[in-house]
Structure 1
Amino acid sequence: MALTTLKDRVLAATQQAPATGGRPAPASAEEGHVQAPATVLEAVAGDPVQESADAVLTWLRRYEGHVTDALPAHMEAGPFLAAVRNVLPSLRFCNPASVLQATLTAARFGLVPDGREAVITKEFGRAVFIPTYRGFIALMHRTGRVGSVRVGMVYEGDEYSYEPSAPAPLDFTLKQDPARSKSDRGAPLFAYAFAWSTDGHRSQVVTVNREEMEKVRDEYSRAYAEAEASGKRDSFWHTHPIEMWWKTAVRQLERVVPVSAEVRALVVADRAGEAGQVQLLHAPDPEAATLKTEADAAGEAAEASQDQASAGPVRKASLVKRSQPRRSSRKARRGRAGRRS
């Protein structure tokens, strides 16, 4: 069956790559496909300076329109594409379909891959989109229900109290001496996260201790397992352990905080990336997002009309009282004019 859409072609080319990240498997002649290039540099073969960022950017420009269309309406394409341009040199030996998939996934979630909200990195021969804990917080803020999110770490030398049965904010208190260095504070005990809603309520406190963090890392992160097996120890769990610990806590806020479907989808896409699976399948679709926005607007309009209907008799009566004298006065004027004539 012919692959007609960009999404179909990206998924097919990405899934052709073997699990260890080598060259994609050649497509059969009966399917009518040409073997996909193994790397981005191979995709732009013929460029006189293939190793340059410009050569890789030439490849990306072929799909710039698709990336721009995938961005949420509130985002400008310029800063996003600039961030992608900066990271492309490190991805030049990745499978090109995976680079496009990671870029489109980041675009659909509206997270700039500049190292703050998200990154696009190379893992087992593929480009992978990785949202940071700040990326999860950014999407929570976009719901309009979450006012702020607090995430941090409790160390051995900190003074804290955690009593889940107590009412907020007495259930969790933490005192830290900012003058003390991290080495003086001892080893990290657990990460915590909680959110304040826009109406002033505070969520349940989520905690992740070391054992829980290591269980998540060992069970879900293929990159960590590969880095351990190879001895490189260069996965994000190795290079940014505290931030990954924080992200584990923030990601679990999705269970106790009213969040959007995008936040839940980001959790699934993040897990897919950790497992080396296709992430684009879980990213929000622009067309579906538009339909959802229209449906939400229609729902709000219907709800508003119901509110008006419930309060209708009072408001209708007041309108009649204001309008009736005008009609009667016009009739009276016409009547007086007829009598004069």
Structure 2
Amino acid sequence: MALSTLKARVSAATRPVAPVVDAVEGASAVELHEAQQADGGQAADTVMDWLGRRRADIEAALPSCVEPGVFLTAVRTALPGLSRCTPASLLQAVLTCARFGLLPDGQQAVIKAEGSTAVMVPMYRGYVELMYRSGRVRSVHVGLVYAGDEWSWEPTAPAPLDFTHKARPDLPRAQRGEAVLAYAFCWMENGARSQVVVLNREDAEANRDAYSEAFRRAEADGSKSSAWHTHFGDMWKKTAIRRLEKTVPTSAELRKLAVVEDAGDEGRVQVVHAPQPGAEDAALAADAAAAHEAAEAGQEVGALGAPVPPPVVKARRRGRTGTKKDRAGRRAARRAA
């Protein structure tokens, strides 16, 4: 007798006579999620196997610098905590990680559940990884300054004297005190040093309150499960990195990561498929170049510091040809006639 419903196929698949993956052949994400909910979550393994059937799509989305086996191992480690998420959102979150070549290992990125929706959240190390991949950055420095550390910041001093930080890891945590600052800067391949971004705790909390929808949701429902609740220090450092990214030439990929993170935080779609190689980056690079040229043009100043106005091009009147002397001669000839 044929199994007419997906739930029946899932139930049959859990018996020793057939593997689970045979039951989900041709099943859509919506059907699978409905069957999973009807079974009270007992079909979580089926969801994982369904995701495994999309391995080819996941590998196609990965950049060449990331080993597929390493990435898939990180995905398998993250899956058990996401069994209540819809398969469609889970596939999207995994593809988003793959698209940027970030491992969902809790270091470069995490895949977290927002209700029944899986969302990819890049960590500050993910941003650092993409900065290195841009080929323009030699070294990235990001960290927290504790009350017991020695540090100084003098923005008007020449680099590298403008900022110094001498940590005291030899002291017990109690003697180091609480974290007071997050900072980020980088050295470029051409030998230049970027500006130093410095944020105190109040700055970080103001940024969180103004922009993080995930934090507001977690506060409203009392779960306190957002990354700002569970990994405040990392989010503090990521805020510094994101501000630094806006001041240095890096890559279109890094700018796109910030856009994707904001979309996930606001509950919007992140990445649903792997784009054509190079097409998206080329468009982003063109937009960035145009914006850079416009900014450079707007920064030109005259001798007294006033903005240089654009050159004025006067239109030539029709019929006016020859030199001024020739035209005067023709007028005199017309008057004599």
Same fold (TM over 0.5): yes
The structure 2 residue matched to 1:37, chosen from 17, 30, 37, is 30
Structure 2 residues without counterparts, runs of 5 or longer: 1-26, 287-337
Describe the superposition over 1:253-280 as per-residue Cα deviations: whole angstroms up to 9, x where unpaired.
1112211000011111111122222111
Residues 128 and 291 of structure 1: CA distance in aligned 2, closer, same or farther (over 3 Å): closer
Residues 38 and 219 of structure 1: CA distance in aligned 2, closer, same or farther (over 3 Å): farther
Return the alpha-carbon distance in structure 2 between the equivalents of residues 217 and 150 of structure 1.
22
Residues 122 and 49 of structure 1: CA distance in aligned 2, closer, same or farther (over 3 Å): closer
Q: Does 1:224 align with 2:207?
A: no
- Alpha-carbon offset, residue 289 of structure 1: 4.9
Match of 2:137 in 1: 146
Q: Does 1:277 align with 2:263?
A: no
The structure 1 residue matched to 2:252, chosen from 261, 275, 298, is 261
Q: Does 1:287 align with 2:287?
A: no
Match of 1:110 in 2: 101
Residues 228 and 44 of structure 1: CA distance in aligned 2, closer, same or farther (over 3 Å): closer
Q: Does 1:183 align with 2:174?
A: yes
Describe the superposition over 1:136-171 as per-residue Cα deviations: whole angstroms up to 9, x where unpaired.
000000011111111111222322211111110000
- Alpha-carbon offset, residue 205 of structure 1: 0.4
Match of 1:162 in 2: 153
Describe the superposition over 1:117-148 as per-residue Cα deviations: whole angstroms up to 9, x where unpaired.
11111113210101111100000000111111
Q: Does 1:214 align with 2:205?
A: yes
Structure 1 residues without counterparts, runs of 5 or longer: 1-33, 297-341
Q: What residue identity is the alignment partner of 1:209? A: N
Residues 149 and 291 of structure 1: CA distance in aligned 2, closer, same or farther (over 3 Å): closer
Residues 184 and 144 of structure 1: CA distance in aligned 2, closer, same or farther (over 3 Å): same
Residues 220 and 76 of structure 1: CA distance in aligned 2, closer, same or farther (over 3 Å): same
- Alpha-carbon offset, residue 102 of structure 1: 0.7
- Alpha-carbon offset, residue 190 of structure 1: 1.5
Q: Does 1:50 align with 2:40?
A: no
Match of 2:227 in 1: 236
The structure 1 residue matched to 2:127, chosen from 136, 143, 162, is 136
Residues 114 and 286 of structure 1: CA distance in aligned 2, closer, same or farther (over 3 Å): farther
* CA-based RMSD: 2.9
Return the alpha-carbon distance in structure 1 between the equivalents of residues 262 and 172 of structure 2.
34
Do the aligned residues in 2 keep the contact of 1:102 with 1:127 (CA within 8 Å)?
Answer: yes
- Alpha-carbon offset, residue 181 of structure 1: 2.5
Residues 105 and 175 of structure 1: CA distance in aligned 2, closer, same or farther (over 3 Å): same
Return the alpha-carbon distance in structure 2 between the equivalents of residues 259 and 110 of structure 1.
16
Q: Does 1:246 align with 2:237?
A: yes
Return the alpha-carbon distance in structure 1 between the equivalents of residues 53 and 28 of structure 2.
18
Do the aligned residues in 2 keep the contact of 1:70 with 1:286 (CA within 8 Å)?
Answer: no
Do the aligned residues in 1 keep the contact of 2:124 with 2:238 (CA within 8 Å)?
Answer: yes
Do the aligned residues in 2 keep the contact of 1:121 with 1:130 (CA within 8 Å)?
Answer: yes
TM-score, with length taken from structure 1: 0.69
Please give the secondary structure, in 2, of the residue aligned with 1:144.
coil
Return the alpha-carbon distance in structure 1 between the equivalents of residues 67 and 175 of structure 2.
44
Q: Does 1:120 align with 2:111?
A: yes
Do the aligned residues in 2 keep the contact of 1:129 with 1:273 (CA within 8 Å)?
Answer: yes
Do the aligned residues in 1 keep the contact of 2:60 with 2:274 (CA within 8 Å)?
Answer: no
Please give the secondary structure, in 1, of the residue aligned with 2:185.
strand
Q: What residue identity is the alignment partner of 1:287? A: P
Return the alpha-carbon distance in structure 2 between the equivalents of residues 82 and 135 of structure 1.
17
Do the aligned residues in 2 keep the contact of 1:56 with 1:88 (CA within 8 Å)?
Answer: no
Highest relative contact order (Cα 8 Å, sep 6+), 1 or 2?
1
Match of 2:78 in 1: 87
Among the aligned pairs, what percent are the same residue?
50
Greater fraction of residues in helix: 1
Q: What residue identity is the alignment partner of 1:240? A: H
The structure 2 residue matched to 1:69, chosen from 60, 65, 69, is 60
Residues 290 and 125 of structure 1: CA distance in aligned 2, closer, same or farther (over 3 Å): closer
Return the alpha-carbon distance in structure 1 between the equivalents of residues 67 and 198 of structure 2.
36
Do the aligned residues in 2 keep the contact of 1:224 with 1:233 (CA within 8 Å)?
Answer: yes
Return the alpha-carbon distance in structure 2 between the equivalents of residues 279 and 36 of structure 1.
17
